[in-house]
Structure 1
Amino acid sequence: MTGAAVYLILGLSLLLATVLPYLTQRIALSPPMVLVAVGMGVGLLPLADGTSLEPQDHRVLITHVTEFTVLVSLMGVGLAIDRALDLRSWRSWRTWSSVWRLLLVTMPLTILGMAVLGWWVAGLAPAVALLLGAVLAPTDPVLASDVQVGEPLTEDVEEAEEEDEDTPAEDDDIRFSLTAEAGLNDGLAFPFVHLALLLLAGGFTVVDAGSWVGWYVLGKVALGVAVGLAIGWLLGRQAFHARSGTLRLADTGEPLLALAALLASYGAAELVGGYGFLAVFACAMALRASERGHSYQRAMHGAVERLERLMTLLVLLVLGMAMTRGLLEHLDWRGVVVALALVLVVRPLTGYAALAVLGRDDHEEGGLDRGEMAAVAFFGVRGVGSLYYLAYATSHEHVPDEPWLWSTVAFAVIVSVLLHGVTATPAMQRLDARRSRTSTKG
């Protein structure tokens, strides 16, 4: 493909990505669906001949591109969440009840369910089956924009919404639960990816199991969260409360602080051995809490959102191109069963069970009624994060059945993009309308 053709395709695709969110607001069609379809069309063009899109040939590149895409999205969702989490308040922790249930119950059960399916249905070795479960378990902060919270709610927005009574609230418990889950579980999948890699390396003993729990499950999680909170707090103090006006970036309106925070928190956490994904999300949450109602929060979120849109465009275009150029070549009935079981059975069942058993009363903040539980359980979007974890694992260890894994994981992402993309808009509109009727009656 010539350089001129690449520029033309990227320019037209970027234009399409810019207008798609507005064109698809009220129809059962999501921007990721359209971008993947465009990528598939590009892959069929003669211009793309001779371009290798085999994942095995580009593991390192895929790892870094998908890694940065997820990081940008994590910063965006962290800045967008309006619900505060006061670590010293039990009441505040309880308002996040649905999130903790999805993380501590749904995610481990999903990993276990997918690992069993990988071993029993697909005939994978136990370590490879565990890797499959860890790769597919986390929901994705990149492709789930239709079911996530919108822009940060700041004082200027609150005043505008008070004037417009017909504007639906977007910070509801459904969107909040799905957004916070996607922000946190990307980092929490890493311990199980590492466990699979340790098993693949061989010689894993009971002593190693203790080390895995102590370091990969507890130590690296704690370090990632601590580093993220510290950097977010420091940058928040500097941006909003610095004594020098030239250093108070909130007054100047320079939104690139969000990108600086992203890079600093991720780099610092990885240097000390913590999980960088968790650090970025924690940093964003701390930065958001520094001055929650300031309009600068929207400026930072807007800058991150534009970068996220650009990175998502790149990933989805290449994914679509790869689909028509051999990515699904190794997909068989086993992969189809595994992918459909994940989206239609495992995630909905484990999600609903976690939320319904001794669930928080739906009249309290953080509580969900039966319909809302079903929506949260169903809309567990899979996406760029799964591609990242698989690229990371295969670039660090030889993984048997790697071509089949790539085809299966890519197919699961496509199924999620299509199914959740078609159902998200009408489902959320129906739930918003029901919520409006309930609040009117109340």
Structure 2
Amino acid sequence: MLEGKHAFFFNADEYFVYLAVFGFFVLIASLLPKILDKRLITAPIIFLILGVALFSLPFDLPVHHWADSPYWPKRLTELGVIISLTGVGLKINRPFAKETWNLSKWLLLITMPVSMLAIALLAHYFLGFLPAAAILAAAVLAPTDPVLAADIQTGPPGSKDHSETRLALTTEAGLNDGLAFPFTHLALAVVLAGIAPGKWLMDWLLMDVVYRIVVGFLVGVLAGKLMAWLIFTYSFTKARISQSPASGILAISLTLIPYGLAELVEGYGFISVFVAACFFRQQESTHRFVNYVHDLSEELERIFIMVLFVGLGYYLVHFFPSDMDIDLFWVALLFVFLIRPISGMLGIGHQNLSFKEKWVISFFGIRGIGSLFYLFFALYQEDFPDGRRLLALVVATIILSVLVHGMLAKFAIGWIVASERKSDG
């Protein structure tokens, strides 16, 4: 008779159960894009449903509210965003010139501040948030999301995608994820020192606005050009690396090197990652290796989407019902259906585009993982008295955005592309 650890045929160690479950979800993440290619439902919706179903089971799991324990949620969302920013930068098939950024420039200069002001006012006067929490709500909901916006972005490197609509949405998602950071720091300054500008204004302008943005951009330029030189020009590595599909693994270096360096010198790492990918792409616009790097980045992004949305099911099951209220839901509705579309029209209404193009660009301001990262970043730094309601507002907005924008994205982009081809013809 077998005794001790050999007494049972099956090993009941939970670690192996978790491995098998994770492998199952990775399999789903790899298959879903092909299965859902022609359908309105999107992969994040499926993962959210699976997450809710999984965490509704009677597992004996520790229960920690994300607003009170934000470290690991912050790290996971951070990795998801920077991997996605690399993919977004590699997709931009235009020169790094001012014409490329013409539409996104107005979305950043007008649309983003107007939508932030509207959210801050609603959060303070309608939801009753204190000034610091109202500013934080505006900051975290300001950026469009590079992670969930694949259906409305430009195609992979080298694709013949001349859509100004897709280009605007792609470049906006790449840039505003870094440019929302100063306002997150502004919320932190207010929660620490109060609303009196004399206590924080100059430090905020010099450090959080000017220094961090400039340093983030410069680190991105240097890292992108250096890695492009190493891969495409330096003879020792060019022959050995750049021809191999397996070398797409260097997408991880293109993500982590600029991000880590920028954060070490207190620049904005999100800006560095996006800029590095753009400059890497510009140094060699036709090389097959760029596609290898992009493809791996896209696969990693799918895994992070799976992990984050299945994980979001944990919050929905355990905390969302108690954190959520009808006022938060109304603000989420207003943001998705009125604030973003109206502020988008204010930003690009003067541009030489058809009404269809303006409407799609204005409406499809997808909110997602970036908003969660900014919120967890702020909650990890300081205590916000409205932290739990802030998290519920952000999650409600993301779910609404995923449902509405996800189901309409393929239809809207097909509508625009057909319109653009007709006008070109």
TM-score range, shorter chain: over 0.9
Structure 1 position 9, deviation (Å): 2.7
The more displaced of 7-16 and 381-390 is 7-16
Report what 2:49 is aligned to: 37
2:211 is the alignment partner of 1:219 = yes
Conserved in 2, the CA contact under 8 Å of 1:238 and 1:247? no
* 2-structure distance, mates of 1:258, 1:206: 44
* 2-structure distance, mates of 1:20, 1:422: 15
Conserved in 2, the CA contact under 8 Å of 1:245 and 1:251? no
Report what 1:78 is aligned to: 89
Structure 1 position 145, deviation (Å): 1.2
Structure 1 position 402, deviation (Å): 1.1
Distance 1:116 1:264, change over 3 A: same
Report what 1:182 is aligned to: 173
* 2-structure distance, mates of 1:84, 1:78: 12
Structure 1 position 53, deviation (Å): 4.9
Structure 1 position 247, deviation (Å): 7.0
State the aligned residue count. Answer: 411
* 2-structure distance, mates of 1:437, 1:108: 34
* 2-structure distance, mates of 1:130, 1:56: 17
Report the residue type matching 1:301 in the other structure. H
Sequence identity, in percent? 35
* 2-structure distance, mates of 1:350, 1:94: 22
Distance 1:222 1:111, change over 3 A: same
- Aligned equivalent of 1:148, options 149, 153, 165: 153
Conserved in 2, the CA contact under 8 Å of 1:113 and 1:346? yes
Q: What secondary structure is seen at the aligned counterpart in 1 of 2:20?
A: helix
* 2-structure distance, mates of 1:315, 1:77: 19
* 2-structure distance, mates of 1:207, 1:239: 48
2:108 is the alignment partner of 1:108 = no
Structure 1 position 433, deviation (Å): 2.4
The more displaced of 12-21 and 298-307 is 12-21
2:63 is the alignment partner of 1:52 = yes
Q: What secondary structure is seen at the aligned counterpart in 2 of 1:113?
A: helix
* 1-structure distance, mates of 2:40, 2:244: 40
Q: What secondary structure is seen at the aligned counterpart in 1 of 2:235?
A: coil
Structure 1 position 178, deviation (Å): 0.9
- Aligned equivalent of 2:73, options 62, 66, 84: 62
Report the residue type matching 1:383 in the other structure. G
Report what 2:8 is aligned to: none
Conserved in 1, the CA contact under 8 Å of 2:231 and 2:238? no
Task: Render the CA deviation track for 1:290-349: whole Å, top value 9, x for unaligned.
Answer: 111111110000111111111111001000232122234211112111111111111110
Structure 1 position 170, deviation (Å): 3.8
Q: What secondary structure is seen at the aligned counterpart in 1 of 2:286?
A: coil
* 1-structure distance, mates of 2:330, 2:57: 31
- Aligned equivalent of 1:139, options 136, 144, 162: 144
* 1-structure distance, mates of 2:79, 2:315: 20
Q: What secondary structure is seen at the aligned counterpart in 2 of 1:55?
A: coil
Structure 1 position 251, deviation (Å): 3.4
- Aligned equivalent of 1:434, options 401, 419, 425: 419
Task: Render the CA deviation track for 1:176-203: whole Å, top value 9, x for unaligned.
Answer: 1111111110110000000010000025
* 1-structure distance, mates of 2:197, 2:414: 51
Report what 1:337 is aligned to: 330
Distance 1:332 1:207, change over 3 A: closer
Task: Give ranges in structure 2 of 5+ residues lacking alignment.
Answer: 1-12
- Aligned equivalent of 1:17, options 23, 29, 50: 29
* 1-structure distance, mates of 2:64, 2:174: 29
Report what 1:172 is aligned to: 163
Quote the RMSD (CA, aligned, Å): 1.7
Report what 2:361 is aligned to: 376
* 2-structure distance, mates of 1:74, 1:345: 27
